[in-house]
């Protein structure tokens, strides 16, 4: 058993979690797109949104942060049996969500434990080294787990309005992580690759990209001060759009590993602004949800998984493997089709949902085909990790 936990797949969080995210993300979106109806306790659309927010996106967030924190703190990464235990809670949450009756409640417990367990794994090196910059990230993981628990509290008795609000709070919390991660890395990666000056962000902007969505999510989860929540969401979106403009260089378009990050950050910012505007015009809500859900979560997570996995497996980042831009364009197409679906109805809506789901899944499966062999083998350069 001890030897099993020494396998390369348990060396760092990105290895098992990126593999699981790619495979499960493809499976779950295809199930939704082609008719899976969930369980009586977690039906249809609620299951789909739940799994994309806390199942797929939440896993990628934890994978990235637990991988990055080892670099940020110069501490050993979460690995071995501790990492396997974290993966087990995630898997149990996914499996239980398919079981009628007690499954939804069990999924709620296991899923919440996954996030809070992940927060502890990040907190240990952060607090041990007094890495104050990342205290907020630890707190934000606990909040993400809290939005998950709040959603499950509304399942019994089943309260559709409260559940939709709960889903939106989880989605916006993920948007906050996109803001945090994107603000730290996009200008930095651009500077390194294009050999241009890194565009610094004021400290208050660095904080606002996470705090504004996080406050929005907490207000939504407790269904209080909706006007304030909308204002926070709109402000976060506006800041994000300004950031994209500030960081932009035209040569970004020549580099798939860069433009995919810009695209994901842009879609997320636009989605936050749309959700904020929905307080005045409800028609913006669906648009905002899918700008974040597919354009933000789908596009940016794929870009992050593609780039960070290359670096951490000892493979060259530039130029990327030829299959990588293919996966990126498939995800962009999934986003555009899903946005289009918000403006149509009837048969056209059904077909557009299926088309978007197929494109989304294809993008992740291309990633899985190319990357999983690297993720389960030792680093190409022989270094640990």
For 170-223, the pLDDT digits (tens) are: 999 999 999 999 998 999 999 999 999 899 888 899 889 999 999 999 898 888
For the entire predicted model, the pTM comes to 0.93
Residues of the chain with pLDDT under 70: 1-5, 385
For position 116, what pLDDT does the model report? Answer: 96
| Region of residue 344 (phi > 0: left; psi between -120 and 50: alpha; otherwise: beta) | beta
As a dihedral over the C-alpha atoms of residue 181, residue 216, residue 245, residue 207, rounded to 10 degrees, the angle is -50
What's the domain count of the chain? Answer: 1
Question: At a CB cut-off of 8 Å and minimum separation 6, what does 346 contact?
Answer: none
The CA distance from 177 to 19, in Å, is 20
How many residues would you count in the chain? 385
In a domain, 355, yes or no: yes
DSSP letter at 194?
H
CB atoms within 10 A of CB 102: 10
The candidate with the shortest Cα–Cα distance to 166, out of 155, 190, 150, is 150
Q: Do the beta carbons of residue 146 and residue 221 sit within 8 Å?
A: yes
* Structure tokens that stand for 270 in this block: 């636009």
The CA distance from 211 to 173, in Å, is 9
In a domain, 286, yes or no: yes
The CA distance from 188 to 171, in Å, is 26
The candidate with the shortest Cα–Cα distance to 207, out of 180, 237, 246, 234, is 180
In a domain, 385, yes or no: no
In a domain, 237, yes or no: yes
The candidate with the shortest Cα–Cα distance to 258, out of 192, 209, 201, is 192
Q: Do the beta carbons of residue 171 and residue 292 sit within 8 Å?
A: yes
Query: 3-class SS at 279?
Result: coil
DSSP letter at 253?
G
In a domain, 177, yes or no: yes
* Exposure class string for 357-377: b at 16+ Cβ within 10 A, else e: bbbbbbbbbbbbebbbebbee
In a domain, 383, yes or no: no
The CA distance from 377 to 385, in Å, is 10
* Structure tokens that stand for 113 in this block: 């434990």
For position 317, what pLDDT does the model report? Answer: 85
Compute CA distances 313 → 150, 258, 375, 377, whole Å. Answer: 37, 19, 7, 8
The candidate with the shortest Cα–Cα distance to 124, out of 88, 82, 157, is 82
CATH number assigned to the domain comprising residue 143: 1.20.210.10
For position 1, what pLDDT does the model report? Answer: 54
For position 13, what pLDDT does the model report? Answer: 94
In a domain, 381, yes or no: no
For position 121, what pLDDT does the model report? Answer: 96
Domain that holds residue 30: 2-375
Residue whose tokens read 């907190």: 123
Distance of CA 245 to the CA centre of its chain: 23
In a domain, 160, yes or no: yes
Contacts 24+ apart (CB under 8 A), 95-102: 97/39, 97/42, 97/47, 97/50, 97/51, 97/55, 98/39, 99/39, 100/39, 100/40, 100/41, 101/39, 101/41
Q: Do the beta carbons of residue 189 and residue 152 sit within 8 Å?
A: no
């Amino acid at each position: 058993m001890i030897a099993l936990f020494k396998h390369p797949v348990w060396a760092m969080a990105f290895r098992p979690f990126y593999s699981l995210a790619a495979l499960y993300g493809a499976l779950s979106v295809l199930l939704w797109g082609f008719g899976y109806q969930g369980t009586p306790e977690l039906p249809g659309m609620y299951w789909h949104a739940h799994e994309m927010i806390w199942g797929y996106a939440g896993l990628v967030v934890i994978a990235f942060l637990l991988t990055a924190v080892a670099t940020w703190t110069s501490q050993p990464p979460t690995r071995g049996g501790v990492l396997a235990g974290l993966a087990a809670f995630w898997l149990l949450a996914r499996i239980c969500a398919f079981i009628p009756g007690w499954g939804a409640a069990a999924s709620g417990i296991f899923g919440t434990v996954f996030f809070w367990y992940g927060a502890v794994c990040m907190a240990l090196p952060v607090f041990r080294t007094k890495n104050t910059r990342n205290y907020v990230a630890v707190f934000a993981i606990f909040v993400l787990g809290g939005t998950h628990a709040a959603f499950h509290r509304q399942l019994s008795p089943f309260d559709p309005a409260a559940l939709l609000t709960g889903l939106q709070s989880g989605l916006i919390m993920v948007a906050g992580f996109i803001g945090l991660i994107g603000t730290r890395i996009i200008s930095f990666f651009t500077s390194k690759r294009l050999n241009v000056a890194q565009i610094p962000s004021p400290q208050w902007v660095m904080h606002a990209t996470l705090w504004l969505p996080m406050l929005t999510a907490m207000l939504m989860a407790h269904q209080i001060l909706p006007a304030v929540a909308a204002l926070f969401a709109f402000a976060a979106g506006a800041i994000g759009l300004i950031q994209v403009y500030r960081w932009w260089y035209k040569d970004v378009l020549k580099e798939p590993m860069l433009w995919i990050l810009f695209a994901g950050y842009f879609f997320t910012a636009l989605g936050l602004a749309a959700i904020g505007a929905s307080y005045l015009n409800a028609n913006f809500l669906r648009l905002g949800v899918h700008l974040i859900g597919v354009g933000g979560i789908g596009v940016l997570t794929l870009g992050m998984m593609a780039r960070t996995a290359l670096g951490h497996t000892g493979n060259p980042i530039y130029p990327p493997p030829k299959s990588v831009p293919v996966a990126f364009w498939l995800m962009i197409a999934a986003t555009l089709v899903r946005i289009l679906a918000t403006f149509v109805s009837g048969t056209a809506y059904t077909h557009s949902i299926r088309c978007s789901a197929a494109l989304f899944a294809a993008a992740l499966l291309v990633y899985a085909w190319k990357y999983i062999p690297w993720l389960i083998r030792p680093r190409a350069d022989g270094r640990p990790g």
